Amino acid sequence: MPGNTDIKVDTASIASIAAAIPKEDLVDAQYDVDCSAATTDVLLILSTQRSGSTLLADLMRRSKLCLPHEYFQPYHYLPLLADRWGCIENGLLDKQAYLDNLFRFRTFPNGWLGINLHGVHLETFARFGDFSRGLNMHYVHLQRKDLISQAVSYEIASQTGQWSSFFEGSGEARYNFRSVKKRLRFIEEQNAAIQAYLAERVEPCHTIYYEDLIAAPAATLQAIAGADIEVPPLRSEALKKQAGSINQDWVERFSARYSGNQRRAR
């Protein structure tokens, strides 16, 4: 754990953050529901950008299993929630108050709390210490088999700001080999950090793939839950698939050059 566990919150930016996040996003206040249920189980989804974690979270919510979100993403979601829940004092996060409200407002009636944790969020998560005592912890590592497609999707979303179909895109994405390669390396580094995190704790973990979630959502979700649950259609009417012809074009362009570079390096 980092030596300094304080988490600074830029309160001046919270208004602009709130304005940029659509109401359909699962972080919205409409999804803060106090069910008066004690938290018994925590589902930790360890993921990376554009791995399908938003889709999985929406599917879990509609299956009434839990409501995972990036609660420990320090740039937007954590400050937004901390402000709403009154957990900021003198520019610093009251971590215990944040956890108390997280358990209160985001635990489902069945006692399950879901957390979507990208590899890059692990450092912030560690600053909260071990809050898992007395709770049943469930670990899922969500990955994509096709990392190049993931890196391309990540770069396009980063340029346009359209992180899901809820977000309005701004501008046209421009292909750049080095930028996509940088995204690819970042994804690989995060997956390695997640694997190290799990190995350090010797925790059993379900590894699931985005491609399998798309092909067999019911089987994938039931494997995570450890029980039969009623699984709705893969996508809600609001959450649409984003990948299009531009993604495939970029994948082909990147793959051709990347493959050529690898052959020359041998």
Rounded to the nearest 10 degrees, how much is the dihedral formed by the CA atoms of 231, 235, 239, 244?
Answer: 150
The tens place of each residue's pLDDT in the chain, 266 residues long, gives: 445 799 999 999 999 999 989 888 999 999 999 999 999 999 999 999 999 999 999 999 999 999 999 999 999 999 999 999 999 999 999 999 999 999 999 999 999 999 999 999 999 999 999 877 889 999 999 999 999 999 999 999 998 887 665 556 667 899 999 999 999 999 999 999 999 999 998 788 999 999 999 999 999 998 888 777 888 888 775 555 655 679 999 999 999 999 876 555 44
Amino acid at 204: P
Class in CATH terms, 11-145+204-239: alpha beta
pLDDT of residue 1: 44
Q: Which one, of 196, 193, 203, lies nearest residue 137 by Cα? A: 203
pTM of the predicted model as reported, rounded to 2 decimal places: 0.89
pLDDT of residue 252: 95
DSSP secondary structure, 165-204, as one string: TTSPP-S-----HHHHHHHHHHHHHHHHHHHHHHHHHT--
pLDDT of residue 6: 94
What's the rounded Cα separation, in Å, for the pair 118 and 57? 13
